[in-house]
Structure 1
Amino acid sequence: MAEAHQAVAFQFTITPEGIDLHLSYQALNQIYLSGLRSWKKRISRIKNGVIKGVYPASPSSWLFVVIAILATMYMQSDPSMGLIAKIREHLPPSLSLSAQGQKVLSVLLFSTLLWMSLILALRFCLKLLLSYHRWMFELHGRISTKTKVWATLVRLLSSRKPLLYSYQTSLPHLPVPSIKDTLERYLESVKPLLDEAGFQRMTRLAAGFEKSLGNRLQKYLKLKALWATNYVSDWWEEYVYLRSRSPIMVNSNYYGMDFLYVTPTANQAARAGNTITALFLYRRKVNREELNPSRIPGTVIPLCAAQCERMFNTTRTPGEETDVLQHWQDSEFVAVYHRGRYFRLWVYRAGRLLSPREIQYQIQRILDDTSLPSPGEEKLGALTAGNRTPWAQVRKQFFSSGVNKRSLDCIEKAAFFVTLDDQEEGMMGENPSVNLDRYAKSLLHGKCYDRWFDKSFSVVVYKNGKNGLNAEHSWADAPIVAHLWEFTLATDTFHLGYTADGNCRGEIEHSLPPPQRLSWNIPLQVQTQVSESLAVAQALADDVDSHVFPFREFGKGRIKKMKMSPDSFVQLALQLAYYRDRGTFCLTYEASMTRLFREGRTETVRSCSNESCEFVLALEAGEDREHCRKLFRKAAEKHQNLYRLAMTGSGIDRHLFCLYVVSKYLGVESPFLKEVLSEPWRLSTSQTPVQQMELFDLVNHPEYISLGGGFGPVADDGYGVSYIIMGEEMINFHVSSKHSCTETDSHKFGSQISQAMMDLMTLLNPDFKEASKANPDKQL
């Protein structure tokens, strides 16, 4: 009861002598400190708004302009060419200002207008500079004079340290490619996948579309591009993600893993304490805009940071026809799930973030709680794992008021979701490869009810201290979450650390109120729907065939020595592996980003090209080694060019997707667009970027290697492949497919990838084969 008494700021009793008032100074102090933190945050937002609003100038430059104008006026010179006098004439008459005061006020007004005009001019110049992308297509060591001058100007305008969102208004808008260029690139991409008759048919469909409906749809799209910040992103978010009625578990959500070899502590509560603390430290940096803007590696070219805005305090709420992303400005608690119970854990007290040791203490209280789930509570999370429409209907009918609404609000408004899993996961035991596969499946779907798949991301902490996360996809793409997770792992291990006995560091305030158990009143109708959603989700989860393996024969170091892009090398290895696995080629999806543009998200690189197919066929036919090398390098250069085109707004698929959306709004049918949008991606690939290698000292601590993350298969008869290029000597792969397809096998395809990687390196460097025999594969 002590906590309940402390929660009351004052008490009073009525006596014959009057009112006896008893103030609780501790409670009032807590109220004061909490309010102080709130005001500090408001002031910080206002300050950051001013700083980024005038970027690439600085607020102090206003004073410089004012002093310069006043100095010239003192020297009997008028830099305004009469404008200051005009401003003075139009000032309202005032008895309180002398003639000299009116003159100074006129100078201040003119200086402010001039300063704002200069800011707009600088911002416009920066936007023009950031619209130049030819530098990306120039060969290393053969940089043109134009590009050198451009790079110098960009550095000059970017010399002042920016905030996270400083570049947002200076980023160019995503351009709309011409219909002709998109159709030409599309036909080129499908040529190796069609026979002669099929290609001629598709060529006729494309030509008919260009001459008739295409130009009409293009006009509407260009109109949208003039009006909207980004002509793709809002439709992509709505129609690809939010309007989907199938489960988001496996189909959309993806996962991120812990370190491969190291678990910093085996204490579950301690690992949760440090992980939660690190995530809130990252949120603080986002809120204060203290994170450096992401850039193209090795350059000063900024990337759009808009996706960071909805990282925390965000939930995807279900609707009968379309879901909605809800974001709250701030949240001082997390929602925690453990053994069928839901808790609200406050991580701030009187405006102070609890220490890692205090959060560990609170987590341990949850772990030690022996209470049982209320009826229907244990598997309630299955509603977020099943089909969206039933979840929307149940939510509207049974979670719109009362205790259920209050508890659901606690989950949806939480900063993020935490699952304290009672299983042990990771690379362990006598069969570490199988355990890694199980670890991936656990993060991807768990038990189908012990994650809240609607949250922007859910952190999972296992019984043995291993951790990971599951992320909802609609609000942002994987590189944003990867950046967050890199910071979390590094901060947890190298900054916060643990004591010798595996506990978190810091002091404990034992008077902390315990975590609040959420209450539910789950009627039988809801329990029935929970069972139905769980059955749908369980069938989906059981069908996932996951395989995770580290490829340790070589990494990007050896690939770069061959003067080859590591990403192109891996993509060509995937093409070779798929051909060996299925005896044919397929439409291949590789995710690329368009964050060079404002509110940019992704574009597709169609990695299966004429050049890649020609190379694979020549290699498999046993043609001359030198000829195969030439074809290999030609295919790699083609892939690099396709990637550059996608990054710079000249991709194929987002343009065709938006044309299709316009056609639906106009109520017109296009056989060409319908066929293009229905083509299956039997090989869907994505590279998890390593963006903050400076956080990890792999020279002195090579064991701290991240496993990266993965996703479920996109096509029922295809593969999903994610890979992360870690350090110089390792590439980690995540392969997924479906057990229900007799033609796919994730483990078999993983072996094909490993063999293809070896064969390609041997092709480029014949000496590698002998070296690999002398140093056989290490077993997990």
Structure 2
Amino acid sequence: MEESIDKYLKSLLPIVTQEELNLITALAKEFSKSEDAEKLQKFLILKSSTSKNWLEDWWYDAYTTNRDSLVTQNMGAIIPKSCISNTSQLGIASQIIHHLMTYWTLVRQEKIEVTRSRGTNWDMYQVYNLFNSCRVPSLPKDCIERYFCTEKEGHCPSHVVILCNGHIWKLETHRDGVVLSIPEIWYKLDLIRTNSNVTVENSIVKLTTLNRNDWAQIRESIIENNELNFELFRTIESAAFCLTLANDCVENDSELMKYSLFGSPLNTYCDKNLNVIVLRDGKACLQAEHGNVDAISLFAPCDFAADQFQDDPKLSGESSRINVNVYYYSNFGAAYCKQKKLYADTIVQIALQMAYLKTHNKLAPTYETASTRKFFHGRTETVRSLTPDLAKYLKACEDSATNETLKTLFFDAYNSHNTLMDAARDGKGIDRHFLGLRRAQSAMMSYGENLEIPFLDHPSFAASGGNGNFLMSTSFLGYNENGCFGYVVPMCKDGYGAFYRINNNRFNF
């Protein structure tokens, strides 16, 4: 408890005044020695002793209790290789289905290589959530249904759902246990597109974009009206994934990235684990329900598919408040950073904070994702990347300090970030701990104990980014040169999302 509080107070240094810091420090120190703190911490320790991951159910609840439209909760991404291919819409779509279902088969056979980072094996549970899952609307919270199982575990649905002009089609992808060939899938998609030329404007697909309470009530009434509708819903919800044949075209990567979340409401069944959208000109993007898997896990099968794309001439509301831009910075990349023995991710975090300062003349409380997949069913922890050392370095830059001073301060900031990242990956971050304290507080309140956490109630917690108020939400998305990269909307209405791939000689933002 004291360790988390000390880290939190340090994160406030660049944000609050000395007077505010003194007040918050007093509140936090008083709380850490209180009986309430002892009870809450004991609750978390007890929970951790009876489950392999004390945070897991609460973490899923953080997503499934959110009643906003999934359009602003889901993750959007693009498949860059589709943008440079001269293959047609059906050519790209048939290849995506074939290669994703090949990956699906490898997961079923438990042949996916274990992910490693800095010599540490990661938990692979999320791989089993990539396919055949769906976030089903319900009250008071949604339910994540999973239908995937390995070959050892038994039968698994092998169909995908095809959306086209509001029509919903079921496409079986296997024959005698073998994935259909690309030409076979192309032929079936051609039949689907030909027979979907009249748009269904009142398609049920649109309803998945609604507020979750409204959609839950409507879905329930549809099922009550006819029991067959439940089986039809289950066909969609149990599919490996959805793929859309869209009529639209876009001009560039930025438009495609925005389209992934804010295209036609007929294009995505938002509840599904994965929606792949293939535009008329063959460009492809995707939308994914973010509560079930993290982005870095989702990109693996998409990159697997994109790496095998081939040119084949024979196969030939909310959005108005969101600006989406894709940038490629080509002056250097991971190779240069490795040569200088620097972590490229840390360089990006320093650069983002400097860019925010130059743009807005102030510093930004910033969230960076750290993976906790070295632990059982691990997901993520927050790295509060605006550190006191980074604030000192940026001030020295503005004050035109000497190069020697800047170098010293730069490495102070650089090392501080790396220390925080390492701690977060080791399960020693603070934000999940504080989430646990809040959930413990709620649980104990149901037993009649009214426990207080005054330092988390103070406005400085939200000002520092707590409760989903980080002005910059950032995440490193991997090293694959031509891999997928995507985004979620910013946490704040006046905030930024900065998500990036790091290649050998280029950064993709």
Shift of 1:678: 3.5
Match of 1:452 among 238, 250, 269: 269
- CA positional deviation for 1:707: 5.5
Q: Call closer, same or farther: CA 1:333–1:260 in 2, change over 3 Å.
A: closer
Q: Distance in 2 between matches of 1:457 and 1:615?
A: 42
From 322, 326, 348, the counterpart of 2:145: 326
Higher helix share: 1
Which residue of structure 1 aligns with residue 475 of structure 2?
Answer: 686
Which residue of 320, 341, 345 maps to 1:542? 320
SS at match of 1:680: coil
Greater RCO (CA < 8 Å, at least 6 residues apart): 2
Q: Confirm or deny: 8 A CA contact 1:190 1:587 kept in the other structure.
A: no
Q: Which amino acid aligns with 1:404?
A: N
Identity %: 29
What letter is aligned with 1:673?
L
Asked if 1:490 corresponds to 2:307, the answer is yes
Is 1:397 the counterpart of 2:221? The answer is yes
One of 417, 433, 442 as aligned partner of 1:639 = 417
SS in structure 2 opposite 1:452?
Answer: coil
Return the offset for 1:262: 5.0
Pair 1:206-2:31 in alignment: no
Asked if the contact 1:591–1:686 (Cα under 8 Å) also holds between the matched residues in 2, the reply is: yes
Aligned to 2:254: 437
| Residue 722 of structure 1, aligned match among 493, 499, 505 | 499
Deviations 1:434-477 (A, max 9, x none): x3221111112312332111100111111111112111111111
Separation in structure 2 between the aligned mates of residue 551 and residue 659 of structure 1, nearest angstrom: 41
Q: Using the alignment, how far apart are the partners of 2:52 and 2:86 within structure 1?
A: 46
Q: Which letter maps to 1:224? A: K
Bigger Rg over Cα: 1
Match of 1:362 among 185, 188, 211: 188
Name the CA distance, whole Å, in 1 between partners of 2:468 and 2:279.
40
Aligned to 1:258: 79
**Which one of the candidate residues 235, 246, 250 is aligned to 2:58?**
235
CA distance in structure 2 between the partners assigned to 1:192 and 1:684 by the alignment: 17
**Equivalents in 1 of 2:467, 2:477: separation in Å?**
27
Aligned-residue Cα RMSD (Å) equals 1.8
Q: Normalising by the residue count of structure 1, what TM-score does the alignment of the two structures yield?
A: 0.61
Checking the alignment, whether the CA contact within 8 Å between 1:255 and 1:471 is kept in structure 2 is yes
Deviation at residue 614 of structure 1 after TM alignment: 0.2
In 2, Cα distance between equivalents of 1:351 and 1:218? 51
Q: Name the CA distance, whole Å, in 2 between partners of 1:579 and 1:371.
A: 51
Question: Which stretches in structure 1 are left out of the alignment for 5+ residues?
Answer: 1-178, 429-434, 505-538, 699-704, 734-780
Which of 707, 732, 735 pairs up with 2:508?
732
1:228 partner letter: S
- Opposite residue 48 of structure 2, the aligned amino acid is A
Letter in 2 for 1:358: E
- The equivalences for 1:20-169 within 5 A come to none
Deviations for 1:391-438, whole angstroms, at most 9, x for unmatched residues? 00011111343453333222112111111111123xx5xxxxxx3221
Cα deviations across residues 319-360 of structure 1 (Å, max 9, x unaligned)?
121000001141121111111211111112343321111001
Alignment of 1:553-564 (within 5 A): 553-564=331-342
Structure 1 residues 464-491: Cα deviation after superposition (integer angstroms, max 9, x where no partner): 1111211111111111101122111113
Aligned to 1:277: 98
Q: Which amino acid aligns with 1:245?
A: R
Q: For the Cα contact (< 8 Å) 1:448–1:541, is it kept in 2?
A: no
Whole-angstrom distance in 1 between the partners of 2:260 and 2:89: 16
Equivalences for residues 409-488 of structure 1 within 5 A: 409-425=234-250, 428=251, 435-488=252-305
* Count of paired positions: 489
Q: Which runs of 4+ in 1 moved over 6 A?
A: none
Whether the 8 Å contact between 1:384 and 1:452 is mirrored in structure 2 is yes
1:573 alignment partner in structure 2: 351
Q: Find the partner of 2:391 among 594, 600, 613.
A: 613
Give the whole-Å Cα distance in 1 for the aligned partners of 2:265 and 2:21: 43
Q: Is the 8 A contact 1:687 1:724 kept in 2?
A: yes
Closer/same/farther in 2, CA of residues 214 and 641 from structure 1, 3 Å limit:
same
CA distance in 1, matches of 2:305, 2:417: 33
* Residues 374 and 621 of structure 1: CA distance in aligned 2, closer, same or farther (over 3 Å): closer
Counterparts of 1:458 and 1:713 in 2: how far apart (Å)? 21
Which sections of structure 2, spanning at least 5 residues, go unmatched?
149-155
| Matched-pair contact (CA < 8 Å) for 1:316–1:456 | yes
CA contact (8 A) 2:102 2:179 kept: no
CA spacing shift, 1:666–1:718, aligned 2, 3 Å:
same
Secondary structure at the aligned position of 1:546 is classed as coil
Shift of 1:373: 4.6
